Amino acid sequence: MQPAVLVENFSLSLNRVRILHAVNFSAAQQGISVLVGRSGSGKTTLLRSLNRLNETIAQTETQGRIRLDLGVGLEDIYPGEQTPRPVSEIRRLVGMVFQSPNVLPLSIAENIALPLRLVRKLPSREINERLQTCLKQVGLWEETEHRLESSAETLSGGQKQRLCLARALALEPALLLLDEPTASLDVHAAASIEEHLKELATHYPIVLVSHNPRQACRLATQLTVMEDGKIVETFREHLPNASEITEMLSERMTELV
């Protein structure tokens, strides 16, 4: 089956410092591809390469190819032989949820409605329908139904992160990127997000960065280990357990030392 993400010999420099070195990576159409590695191993940079978000942070130079299936088969997202889609369209089609739940400083409803209005230019009736659907999809509808006009800042950490997930889903992405989405949440909120991610993985290809070996084991259908801007190992079958991942990461660290 054709992958949803195909990264081939991709290297990336930020402000002339090489961060990713000839990375080869792919993610399936369904399931959760988890990237693990120590801090500074390049996981987040690789994730942000998939929606060209690195370009918003620093001066970026790239080599190699990244192709994504954004609905019409694999297509290049960086300029090469063909001119890619406008970068704003790529980002709209690649939903992203960040480590800290960064809601927009607006009401709960507007957090979902504003991007729909500005990016998709949908009529308000459709926006309202989609708002409800997406909040239900992440289990937030019942909690927020009566206070949609309240500031999103009044939500708890877990609720905010689910709102961010709903906001990404509302834009009808072809791929979901999650950068340690439970890192700043308590155990219960994290478990709730994980449940929703498992459910979503049956409809969307998901690439998830995780610091937590146990979480990686719980969620992964594919596990990729990164170190020093390179992919060192990818497991598609017979995934390692949490202690094996921990051991693997510390071994690599010892080798480096």
- Interface residues with another protein (CB under 8 A) are 51, 53, 56-57, 88-93, 96, 98, 100, 102, 104-108, 110, 114-115, 118-119, 149-154, 167-168, 171
d(CA 115, CA 168): 9
Closer to another protein by Cβ: residue 104 or 239: 104
CB of 92: closest distance to another protein in angstroms?
Answer: 3
147/214 with CB nearer another protein = 147
CB of 151 to another protein, least distance (A): 4
Q: How far is the CB of 30 from another protein (least distance, A)?
A: 23
Q: How far is CA 178 from CA 37, 48, 78, in A?
A: 15, 10, 21
List the one residue out of 41, 14, 64, 11 whose CA is nearest residue 256. Answer: 41
* Angstrom distances, CA of residue 65 to CA of 78, 107, 217: 7, 39, 29
Which position has the token pair 């390049």?
42
Question: Is 64:20 a contact under the CB 8 Å cutoff?
Answer: no
Shortest distance (Å) from residue 149 CB to another protein: 5
Strand-strand pairing, 17-27 and 31-37? unpaired
- CA 257 to chain CA centroid, Å, is 31
Q: Work out how close the CB of 19 gets to another protein at its nearest, in angstroms, rounded to a whole number.
A: 17
Which residue number, 5 or 245, has a Cβ lying nearer to another protein?
5
Between 91 and 130, name the residue whose CB sits nearer to another protein: 91
If the CB atoms of residues 2 and 154 are measured against another protein, the closer one turns out to be: 154
